Structure 1
Amino acid sequence: MSKKPVTSRGGRFLKLAGMTASVAGQYAGQRARRLIRGEDDGARSESYTRMADQIADTLGELKGAVMKVGQIASQTQDFLPLEFSEALQKLQKEAPPMAFEVIVGQIESELGKPVGELFEYLQEQPYAAASIGQVHRARLHNGTDVIVKVQYPGVDESCDSDLKQLRLALKLGGLLKMPKEAVDQLFGEIRERLKEELDYENEANNLRLFREFHKDQPWVIIPSVIASHSTRRVLTLELVEGDHVSKVTPEHYDQATINLIGHRIFTTMADQLFRFRCIHGDPHAGNFAYRPDGSIIMYDFGCVKKLKPEIVEAYRKALIAALAEDYEALDRHLIDLGARVENQPAVDEAYYAMWRDILIRPFDTEAPYDFAGSDLHKHVAAKTSTVFKYLDYFKPPVESIFIDRMIAGHYWMLKRLGVQAAFRAELEKYLAAGADGGQS
């Protein structure tokens, strides 16, 4: 059953303030126990897990900006303890839907007409429910099948106060282990992306832009916008259906087709990064669908990151240096990327070599890499504690955080699909193209 949403700014503030006070109290108690009698790692981890579960539950209930930040945080484990990343993973799953009458009210107030005048029918059961809105299937009076994306009421007005309150909760919970300047940059970048994502007119423009980007790749399918039924908070798109990753099974997809889809996923990702310098920044299973002819359908272009040419170039050079095991050059390029603190001494090459040897695996052989059996993420998790040794040397790479998010999201898609493919030669082609491969 759907919950009545907390849509007023005051109601949201009180809910978040209550969470903040509770988290701060738990953290103070944990510090006091540690000072009085010491606290082992197990007890601290248990305390973090309790705090994390409370934050995740509150964010999931409130939806909106704070839930979206939780989703981003769950994918970027470089600025929160592991217990929090794990608890926030729950926010990646589909959100519980909002009451249908709330959705109808939002559509009618945005489009200025009764739902019956706008659509032949509007399905009550949501097609999908997410952090800042939900999607319903419908049909226009001319017979066109569409989906209608409706933003939850109050989400955009409360974005700034939500983010301030969440930041305060993380700070008072002793969880933001970064200098204030880095936190400012990180939350500034998240706020900017969220403001764009809350503007469905911006998303409509992104959809048109990416349709143009991929016009020469007929196997990339992106829905078209129905402008007459779209506003800043309602977005109506043609209905374009495909199979969710869970439906990509041997009955309908042979291994050759799955591998073809894998190569196409890699191509779209590399094109967006190196050629278009503009990336789909929210690559999770719900935003992609597939067809047995090898087509890939892409949904949800609310979160799009336009990349500065110098950031793409620094990223390219960092990858070339890592592949060549030139760790001195890698250190320099990470500084250019904004990931390394410039006034700190060079990082131990063995540290870079350790990460390079883990992350290179899908690209380290000319034979196909079996993503289904990949345990690369487990090796990354096992080495996460080594990050603390170099905490003062690195900072969240604000300009490229969405590149990292895109790559991590695509890794999980390739794994879930069971792709077997060798990408080294393709990667080297993009890296060799260099700055000339970009489009203005």
Structure 2
Amino acid sequence: MKEQSNIPTGKVERAGRFITTGLKVGTNYLKHYTRRLVDPNLSKESLHADNAEDIYDTLSHLKGSALKVAQMLSMDKGMLPKAYSDMFAMSQYSAPPLSGPLVVNTFQKTLGKSPSQLYDKFEMQAANAASIGQVHRAWKWGKQLAIKIQYPGVANSVKSDLRIVKPFAVRIVGMNEVDMDKYFEEIETKLLEETDYKLELRRSMELSALCAHIPNLVFPAYYPELSSDRVITMDWLDGHHLREFLQRNPSQEARNKIGQALWDFYDFQMHRLKKVHADPHPGNFLMREDGTVGIFDFGCIKEIPEDFYTNYFMLVDKEVLKDEARRMEIYTNLEMIHPSDSPKEVAFYSGLFQQMIDLMTLPFTQERFDFGNEAYFQEIYDYMDYLYNLKEVRDSKVARGSRHSLYVNRTYFGLYSILSELKAEVVTSTTSPVKELVEQ
């Protein structure tokens, strides 16, 4: 893949790139509707493909928050047209990398030395490039190391990028701007944290140590003396990203072991630590044929407020939800139902939410769950598509759902997606948080 010799870092220059892309998208719409005059049966697939390519080309060269939002959208199957999700998914593995001079300049500015002065050997060609940074391979102390380098200007452009990218997200997703305002504030907070590599280093060391007891998980050691606000040095982990791993035809035993390890990893963080690795896209995991999985990116951590946690996991217990008054109280606490709703709106939305909750919490209600059950996931996608197309939902002027639900839901949806790809069968009754909550 062709390297980038520079990244636009100024607000005006970055905004100009978005404006140019917006003009391209407008031209694509004009072309599409002109073609439809000739062929009324023409679908929107070619329009989506053209727009997705133009938008991704801009985002992948700008890097940073804008590309990260595209990556997040690509994980939510059913939210985007397929052309967008397929194109944006590339940001999980293979965005265009920075050129050598920019890499050296980052080291000189933040650590005062070049890579050749810091390591015995440093590969200038990136091994992996994503939305916030890229990874290089290096050697020191007889060890193979992974060096994570943040792109220039990423931290300073978070707020301005999100303001510019929001209209694209509104148009692509179809969500009204009220929802976007509410959740973009949460996204901004998390993205600012992700650009703080000193914070990531501390969290990586802390959470790796706390989760080290979980079977079949592998974490790298981290090296603060070779890290800075834009560089993190850690052990190199061998393994394959999900797509490559599955191409190697791993055994069902290996799939199940990895699936169980990931389930246990998230289960422990959510219920014991109340803070969770909230970026479960496939690019953050390295899988091996022996059933172990490497975890190395703790840039996005969601801390779970106690009151949100309590109400959120009450939704798993069917006995609790049989109590109509308590169910409405939980829905209200989670901002799914609002005090200003009419009785008709309460009945409508509580019915929609209950069906969605029944679907999404099904794995928690069983001793074991087969995530290879394609019918289960198809039912989820069909229902999400149904919700997306409901006029009442699309025209709603009220954002439904706590801001905390954004990353918690994203975490579980990402986990489910990976377990589905693995077709893993998992023991899901490792803890019983709901019983503890009900008994309190």
TM-score w.r.t. the length of structure 2 is 0.83
Structure 2 gap ranges (5+): none
Which residue matches 1:382? Answer: 382
Question: Match of 1:7?
Answer: 8
What is the aligned partner in structure 1 of residue 416 from structure 2?
411
CA separation of 1:162/1:270 partners in 2, compared to 1, >3 Å: closer, same or farther? same
| CA distance 1:306–1:112, shift in 2 (3 Å) | same
Alpha-carbon distance in structure 2 between the residues aligned to 1:151 and 1:250: 30
Cα 1:69/1:281, change in 2 over 3 Å? same
Identical residues among aligned pairs (%): 25
Cα displacement (A) at 1:220: 3.0
Task: Report the CA distance shift for 1:374/1:43 in structure 2 as closer, same or farther (over 3 A).
Answer: closer
1:351 maps to 352
Residues 23 and 169 in structure 1, CA contact (< 8 A), matched pair in contact too: no
Cα displacement string for residues 23-75 of structure 1 (whole angstroms, at most 9, x for unaligned residues): 46777x69x99xxx9xx997667656644443233212322110001111233
Task: Check if 1:431 corresponds to 2:430.
Answer: no
Q: What is the alpha-carbon distance in structure 2 between the residues aligned to residue 138 and residue 112 of structure 1?
A: 18
Q: Tell me, in whole angstroms, the C-alpha distance in 1 between the residues paired with 2:247 and 2:136.
A: 30
Q: How much does 1:78 deviate?
A: 8.8
Closer, same or farther: CA 177–329 of 1 in aligned 2, 3 Å: same
Tell me how far apart the structure 2 counterparts of residues 2 and 226 of structure 1 sit (CA, whole Å). 27
Letter in 1 for 2:406: I
Q: Tell me how far 1:272 sits from its aligned partner.
A: 1.0
Q: Against the structure 1 CA distance between its residues 237 and 422, is the aligned structure 2 distance closer, same or farther, given a 3 Å change threshold?
A: closer
2:127/2:137 contact within 8 Å kept: yes
Work out whether residues 126 and 136 of structure 2, in 8 Å CA contact, stay in contact via their aligned partners in 1: yes
Deviation, structure 1 residue 15: 0.5
Deviates more, 1:294-303 or 1:225-234: 294-303
Q: Does 1:183 align with 2:180?
A: yes
Q: Does 1:398 align with 2:395?
A: no
**Structure 1 counterpart of 2:316:** 319
Query: In 2, are the aligned partners of 1:24 and 1:169 still within 8 Å (CA)?
Result: no
Q: CA deviation at 1:287?
A: 1.1
Deviations 1:80-122 (A, max 9, x none): 7777556534433421322223212212222101322111110
Measured in 1, the distance between the counterparts of 2:260 and 2:53 equals 38
User: Are 1:16 and 1:162, in contact at CA under 8 Å, matched by a contact in 2?
Assistant: no
Structure 2 residue aligned with 1:68: 68
The answer as to whether partners of 2:126 and 2:137 remain within 8 angstroms in 1 is: yes
Shifted more, 409-418 versus 392-401: the winner is: 392-401
Determine the structure 2 residue equivalent to 1:148. 147
Amino acid at match of 1:137: R
Q: Distance in 2 between matches of 1:402 and 1:65?
A: 16
- Residue pairs, 1:33-432, within 5 angstroms: 50-76=50-76, 85=85, 88-140=88-140, 142-170=141-169, 173=171, 177-180=175-178, 182-217=179-214, 219-246=216-243, 248=245, 254-291=251-288, 294-321=291-318, 329-344=326-341, 345-348=345-348, 350-363=351-364, 366=367, 368-383=368-383, 384-387=385-388, 388-391=390-393, 392=396, 395=400, 397-423=402-428, 425-426=429-430, 429-432=432-435
Given that 2:64 and 2:131 are in contact with CA atoms closer than 8 Å, whether structure 1 keeps it comes out as: yes
CA contact (8 A) 1:257 1:293 kept: yes
SS in 2 for 1:305: strand
Q: Deviations over 1:132-158 (max 9, x none)?
A: 110001012x33321110111122222
Secondary structure of the residue aligned to 2:381 is helix
The letter of the residue matching 2:422 is L
Q: Do structure 1's residue 19 and structure 2's residue 21 form an aligned pair? A: yes
| Structure 1 position 312, deviation (Å) | 0.9
Quick check: 1:200–1:233 contact (8 Å CA) kept in 2? Answer: yes
Q: Kindly state the Cα deviation for residue 293 of structure 1 after the two structures are TM-superposed.
A: 5.1
RMSD value over aligned CA atoms?
Answer: 3.6
Task: Tell me if the contact between 2:312 and 2:334 (Cα under 8 Å) persists in the aligned partners.
Answer: yes
User: Secondary structure of the residue that 1:158 maps to in structure 2?
Assistant: helix
Rounded to whole Å, the distance in 2 between the matches of 1:216 and 1:105 is: 39
Aligned CA distance change for structure 1 residues 229 and 339 (closer, same or farther; 3 Å): farther
Unaligned segments of structure 1, at least 5 residues: none
Structure 1 398/26 Cα, relative in aligned 2: closer, same or farther at 3 Å?
Answer: farther
Supply the distance in 2 between the matched residues of 1:168 and 1:91 (Cα, whole angstroms): 20
Amino acid aligned to 2:201: A
Query: How far off is 1:320 after superposition?
Result: 1.8
DSSP-derived class of the 1:96 partner = coil
One-letter identity of the residue aligned with 1:398: R
Deviations 1:171-216 (A, max 9, x none): 5x48653253x32221111111111111110100111220232143
Superposed displacement of residue 165, structure 1: 1.1
Aligned length in residues: 426
